[in-house]
Structure 1
């Protein structure tokens, strides 16, 4: 094709050259963005490894680096449950490290929890009693922040003494099992429940089926059994200090000031004041377990969802 056949050949050639140049420029920009992303990701990974190396083992490493007498601190915060930060495995491990440290003069378990699993709370309370037998000269004191209710108090009852703020919330000695019923909504929507089971109680308290009076009564009996276990733990732990009232085990909560009057707690105090004035070791070393960056990342993408789901019906000290 010559100039006479296509008088616009120069313009078309120039356009092709420009398009080719733009494509090459765009391809180069994409590769530049890709390599920048890889570089930032690598930098983030290196920083995360450094942070984990320095802090990943939590207070236990800090405790091993101490040279003098100290008060060991373990924080129990949030809902007490497997898969949560306040789980028995982590808290018990921290308690063992705190008691084992030769420079520990006393252990402070600082609680700020509304409760949770009676199983997890019971395991922590059992570990406290076990450590107290192994180290009879090392006391364990509970210090309450905002709230020490239900499962939190189940744990606290195992301590030598309980210190509170006058405005703390303490108590809630009871057990619950909660859920929802959707039968009314299903009727309005025209939805039919089709549940097949092998075993007449396999669909126990199914939220999409009408309540079964026999199953409800059975659930209440189990709740009462766990409640009596809770009451025994409180009575055994508090002993003669407890001034029982008719509503003490009804699930009510009291202010820290009232809890001292009732013998549910012993005195006012913070972690600093207990370390300084009671244990006589003002230097506090934190043994609280810390989540690594990998754990936090896994939780953020839902990797721990399976551990939190559980069954529909479960007992809660809340």
Structure 2
């Protein structure tokens, strides 16, 4: 059954049937992490965006899909999973994908942008950071001062590697650096595969983890042009309808009744939420946001 156009176009998270060409606009905003929960900004991972991407590529009159990327990065695996899903849907539907870098498309955020056939940015956008980073804390001695005994039992010599409550070992740091180098190579190969001859520069200046403004990224071939999403999409696709595609809200929220009361959370859960929020905030703060 086909719904009336006026109703169909307002269905939450849906595109409905349209007579005009459609450009689906998908927000990829937030830190890229497999963890979901009460965080101060949205997160990106394969589970969160899968259905959104399916709906974005679904219209029969689809002309293109636009990715609005605003992410400081995060999990390499989740970045790759989301990017692979985008490429699979683009090949299946045979439509172009355009990425638009907003405040920041860095590290995993740039990995996502490279899933597009073309990348655009604002001159002030922060783009790049083609590298790998790991962060943690050294807390050895802290629990002693607190009068707490920690009991750690392992089977396997490497199970306690880089434990924050134990002194850091040079061999563990070397292992981590080797892992980072492997991921860095995969990141470089992805960028080279997607950008190809458009890249202008060498590995020594493109893949150091450096970030650039949108204007500088254009000179390096990391992006294809400067401008705003609506300006570029209108110029490229004329009278095509630009339609935002978002995740579906819970039923109560769609009915305007508000969310159900949250279940009581334990102290441990609350502390984990605080730690997660701090880590996400720190990830944004690396780029002055």
- Band the TM-score falls in, shorter-chain normalisation: 0.7 to 0.9
1:79 matched to 2:31:
yes
1:114 matched to 2:83:
no
**Considering only CA atoms, is the larger Rg found in Structure 1 or Structure 2?**
1
Once the two structures are superposed, residues 33-75 of structure 1 have per-residue CA deviations (whole angstroms, 9 ceiling, x without a partner) of xxxxxxxxxxxxxxxxxxxxx999743x2x1143321211100
3-state SS of 2:205 partner: coil
Once the two structures are superposed, residues 199-222 of structure 1 have per-residue CA deviations (whole angstroms, 9 ceiling, x without a partner) of 111112110011122222111111
Separation in 1 of the partners of 2:19 and 2:200? 42
More helix by share: 1
Unaligned runs of 5+ in 1: 1-53, 311-315
Q: Work out whether residues 183 and 210 of structure 1, in 8 Å CA contact, stay in contact via their aligned partners in 2.
A: yes
Report the equivalent of 1:179: 136
Q: 1:73 to 1:91 in 2, by over 3 A?
A: same
Unaligned runs of 5+ in 2: 1-7, 37-41, 277-282
Q: TM-score normalised to the size of structure 1?
A: 0.71
Counterpart selection for 2:16 from 64, 67, 82: 64
Report the equivalent of 1:32: none
Report the equivalent of 1:163: 120
Q: 1:298 to 1:267 in 2, by over 3 A?
A: farther
Q: TM-score normalised to the size of structure 2?
A: 0.78
Residues 8-23 of structure 1: pairs in structure 2 closer than 5 A: none
Alignment length (residue pairs): 257
3-state SS of 2:18 partner: coil
Please provide the CA RMSD for this pair: 3.2
Q: 1:79 to 1:290 in 2, by over 3 A?
A: farther
How far does residue 192 in structure 1 lie from its aligned partner after superposition?
5.8
Once the two structures are superposed, residues 91-135 of structure 1 have per-residue CA deviations (whole angstroms, 9 ceiling, x without a partner) of 232222222211211110101111111111101111121122212
Separation in 1 of the partners of 2:154 and 2:183? 28
Q: 1:301 to 1:120 in 2, by over 3 A?
A: farther
